[in-house]
């Protein structure tokens, strides 16, 4: 099972994280845990890192991305702080990570494993001995690009198709299948949703996995819009409030805009 963390990265909720880590073989401290070895690279900020395994992809994360990672954290005195063992992982926004780990991740390619010796100044304070390091072994599993807010989020363009209900939609990419889902079907989709001010309020892409749900259990605009698609289609839906949450407290308000990719029909 995977494990997701709120984007505050690791240490504000350290005790809760450690408590939910499943029983697994406890990792041992690396032989160079006490201090960076001679072959470690030193960055302009003073961060020491060493590549443990090369990547299999070309993608590298930036401040605007989220990353899927596994990690092991030691204090430089050999104490195990926390770890995520396979098949678990965490998904976190890069710009919320501690300074040293953020710098470490941003120099990695997908598939790479790297070790960093993070000083107190770069985020190790309170987690490692005074004057020592927090040693972070990180495996970068994937880079997740945060969806860009559509330029037409504030209103459906003239070339959008409008239905009698008030739904507007536009096919952004056509799939290769011809079957449409029925209202009684369960579908698998990737989606991102914005309100009419351009605020991203939800996205399956940020969770790192598609969503699966019965069409009978979703808002009317989704139920109608998804049935207009075939597997492989990617579309943008402009859903008026009367077909969305109808002003319910605690729900996204007003017209909602969704980019949806229909992956499968069950």
> In CATH, what number does 161-265 get?
3.10.50.40
Highest mean pLDDT among 20-24, 83-87, 143-147, 248-252: 83-87
Comparing CA positions, the residue from 9, 31, 8 lying closest to residue 84 is: 9
Catalytic choice (202, 213, 226, 265): 202
Respond yes or no: is residue 171 known to be catalytic: no
| CA 118 vs CA 56, 92, 122, 138, 232: distances in Å | 25, 19, 6, 12, 44
DSSP, collapsed to helix, strand or coil, labels residue 214 as strand
> In CATH, what number does 14-145 get?
3.10.50.40
pLDDT confidence of residue 24:
65
Res. 113: pLDDT tops 80: yes
Residue bearing tokens 């450690």: 18
Catalytic choice (32, 152, 171, 245): 245
Res. 109: pLDDT tops 60: yes
Average of per-residue pLDDT across 244-250? 89
| CA 246 vs CA 14, 169, 224, 253: distances in Å | 39, 19, 16, 8
Percent of the chain with pLDDT over 70: 91
CA distance between the termini of the chain: 22
Q: How far is CA 74 from the centre of its chain?
A: 25
Res. 42: pLDDT tops 80: yes
Taking only the tens place, the pLDDT of each residue in 137-159 is: 999 999 988 888 999 999 999 99
pLDDT confidence of residue 95:
81
The Cα 241–Cα 199 span in angstroms is 16
pLDDT confidence of residue 10:
32
Taking only the tens place, the pLDDT of each residue in 14-36 is: 222 333 444 568 999 999 999 99
**Sequence ranges of the domains in the chain:** 14-145, 161-265
Say yes or no: do domains 14-145 and 161-265 share a fold: yes
Give the confidence band of 9 by pLDDT, cuts at 50, 70, 90. very low
pLDDT confidence of residue 7:
29
Catalytic choice (191, 213, 239, 265): 191
The two three-digit tokens of residue 126, written as one number: 């309170």
Mean pLDDT over each residue of the chain, to the nearest integer = 88
Catalytic choice (11, 144, 258, 265): 258
Respond yes or no: is residue 154 known to be catalytic: no
Respond yes or no: is residue 258 known to be catalytic: yes
Res. 119: pLDDT tops 70: yes
Whether the CA torsion 85, 87, 123, 126 is positive or negative: it is negative
Give the confidence band of 243 by pLDDT, cuts at 50, 70, 90. very high
Respond yes or no: is residue 202 known to be catalytic: yes
Catalytic choice (71, 201, 226, 239): 201
The Cα 163–Cα 35 span in angstroms is 65
Respond yes or no: is residue 169 known to be catalytic: no
Radius of gyration of the chain (CA): 22
| CA 44 vs CA 34, 47, 231, 249: distances in Å | 21, 7, 49, 49
Respond yes or no: is residue 213 known to be catalytic: no
Q: How far is CA 215 from the centre of its chain?
A: 25
Percent of the chain with pLDDT over 90: 71
Res. 188: pLDDT tops 90: yes
Taking only the tens place, the pLDDT of each residue in 45-74 is: 999 999 999 999 888 999 878 899 999 999
DSSP-derived letter for residue 94 is G
């Amino acid at each position: 099972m995977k494990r997701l963390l709120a984007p505050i990265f690791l240490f504000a909720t350290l005790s809760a994280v450690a408590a939910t880590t499943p029983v697994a073989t406890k990792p041992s401290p690396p032989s160079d845990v006490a201090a960076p070895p001679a072959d470690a690279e030193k960055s302009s900020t003073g961060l020491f890192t060493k590549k443990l395994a090369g990547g299999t992809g070309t993608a590298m994360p930036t401040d605007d991305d989220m990353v899927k990672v596994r990690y092991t954290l030691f204090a430089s005195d050999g104490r195990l702080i926390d770890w995520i063992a396979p098949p678990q992982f965490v998904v976190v926004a890069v710009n919320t990570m501690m300074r040293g780990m953020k710098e470490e991740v941003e120099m990695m390619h997908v598939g790479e494993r790297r070790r960093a010796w993070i000083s107190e100044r770069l985020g190790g304070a309170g987690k490692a001995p005074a004057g020592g390091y927090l040693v972070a072994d990180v495996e970068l599993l994937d880079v997740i690009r945060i969806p860009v807010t559509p330029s037409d989020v504030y209103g459906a363009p003239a070339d959008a198709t409008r239905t009698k209900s008030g739904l507007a939609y536009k096919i952004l990419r056509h799939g290769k299948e011809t079957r449409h889902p029925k209202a009684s079907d369960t579908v698998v989709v990737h989606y991102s949703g914005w309100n009419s001010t351009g605020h991203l309020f939800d996205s399956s892409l940020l969770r790192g996995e598609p969503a699966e749900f019965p069409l009978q259990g979703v808002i009317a605009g989704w139920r109608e819009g998804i049935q207009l698609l075939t597997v492989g289609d990617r579309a943008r839906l402009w859903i008026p409030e009367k077909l969305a949450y109808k002003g319910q407290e605690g729900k996204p308000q007003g017209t909602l805009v969704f980019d949806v990719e229909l992956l499968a029909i069950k």
